[in-house]
Structures are given as C-alpha cells and as structure tokens.
Amino acid sequence: MSEIRDYGVTVEEYLAGLENGVDILELRRLEASGIPTHLALELMTITPKVCNGTATPEDLTRGLLILSPRGRKQLE
C-alpha cells in the first residue's frame, strides 16, 4: 500500500487546479520526486496519451527522458 503524503495542497487549491485542467496533487508528487514544474506539466500531458494508446514514439521518448534523472539533465 502506498504511503500517504501531505503536499500542502488545500481543497480550494486542488479544486482551482482542476478547473484549470491541472491535478495539483500529481504535480506536487512529480515535483517532490525532483522533476521541475515545467517538465512535470509536460509529463502530465503525455501520460494520458500513453494510457489511451495515442502517444507517438516522440511522446514516449520525451516522457522517458523526463522521468529519468539523466534524461532530465539533457532537457534542461
């Protein structure tokens, strides 16, 4: 079972993020793992494409680069 973490997000912030199409909790989780905000947001747009099978090979490559610490250094 996953550990529950407090990312300091209020209900209001979470709902405001959802209104703008951003899952703030997912964003904070990615940031906590060392992924910069701009890359985390990009990864969050790639993930649904991977899940529904519409990701291009470029999307997959970019997503893997973002997830990999070495790959992130190449992108920054």
Over range 25-40, report the average pLDDT. 95
Number of structural domains found in the chain? 1
High-pLDDT (> 70) share of the chain, %? 99
- Asked, for residue 54, whether it belongs to a domain, the answer is yes
- Average pLDDT taken over every residue of the chain: 93
User: What is the reported pTM?
Assistant: 0.84
Provide the 10 A C-beta neighbour count for residue 40.
20
Residue 39 forms part of a structural domain: yes
Q: Which residue range(s) make up the domain with 67?
A: 11-75
Q: Look at residue 48 and tell me if it is in a domain.
A: yes
Separation of alpha carbons 71 and 43, rounded Å: 13
